Amino acid sequence: MIGPMRPVIIAGNWKMQTTPADAGELAATIARRTNEPEVVRVLCPPFVCLAAVRDALAAEPTGRDVAVGAQNVHHELAGAYTGEISAPMLVGLATWTIVGHSERRRDAGETDALINQKVWRARDAGLHVILCVGEQLAEREAGRAAQVVRAQVRGCLDGVKAPAGGDAASGDLRAPWLTIAYEPVWAIGTGRTARGVDAAEMAAAIRRTLGELDFEADGEGVPVLYGGSVTSATIDEFLAEPAIDGALVGGASLKPDEMAGIVARAALTARGRGAQPAS
């Protein structure tokens, strides 16, 4: 099922880059260079830059349709967790959040069970969630890629349902509350890339798992993004696959020229699929 239920989404993960002094101007520049209303655009700066990016986009006429996302969220609402940020703290600063990124799994030891709690917290706070899943190189070479990713989806979304009020509870009707980013860990910052057909096969495995978890319409309405070191030179292969609905962009999201190329290609895909412009 392709169409308004599955928007084309380009989300930029700035990781530990930019400062409050320069993040706002970068966000405004990207907004001007990517003014494509058919594409849902999300910028995810570091926590300390959220307010600067929010304010810069609000002041930029072409930035008002660009959403702000956090790169992570804590699994508790409040408490003695020095340095952490809870979902309620993000309300008013961001409308999206990434959870379960491979770097969080690797560096912070995040498990599927912990990520499941983060999904719940973000959902309950009315945030859009980009859930990241993906296999290691050894797992792919062993023929276990789909098995690993399906287990991650099940663990991270166990018991999770759409918020009361459905997607309307998120406040942004351009996209459903849940998006899944397939990020093959072996293709992030390594110089290696997956093929479009590989990503499409994994998207199908993800949606089969969503169906097993009783997601509405067997998960066909959940966008699946590709997230393995995407650039303007590689995005075509992935957007050519009907099962792939956009990209979670890393380093290239800090470069306005790259983002312009990626979003322009995404806009062609959105128009070809009959997506409705954002209101």
- Token pair listed for 181: 């980013």
Query: Would you call 195 exposed, middle or buried from its count of C-beta atoms within 10 A (0-12, 13-18, 19+)?
Result: exposed
Check residue 2 and give its pLDDT: 43
pLDDT band at residue 3 under the 50/70/90 scheme: very low
276 within some domain: no
278 within some domain: no
Range of the domain at 195: 8-270
Q: Assess whether 220 carries a catalytic annotation.
A: no
User: pLDDT tens across 150-176, in order?
Assistant: 999 999 999 998 887 777 777 777 899
Average per-residue pLDDT in the chain? Answer: 93
Q: Assess whether 258 carries a catalytic annotation.
A: no
Structural domain count, the chain: 1
Candidates 38, 135, 183, 258; catalytic one: 183
258 within some domain: yes
Candidates 101, 103, 139, 258; catalytic one: 101
Check residue 279 and give its pLDDT: 40
Residue 232 has pLDDT above 50, yes or no: yes
Q: For the whole model, what pTM was predicted?
A: 0.94
Check residue 228 and give its pLDDT: 83
166 within some domain: yes
- Token pair listed for 63: 């930035």
Check residue 275 and give its pLDDT: 55
Look up the CATH number of the domain holding residue 59: 3.20.20.70
Residue 53 has pLDDT above 90, yes or no: yes
138 within some domain: yes
Is the distance from CB of 227 to CB of 250 less than 8 angstroms? yes
Q: How does strand 39-44 pair with strand 128-133? A: unpaired
- Token pair listed for 215: 């997601």
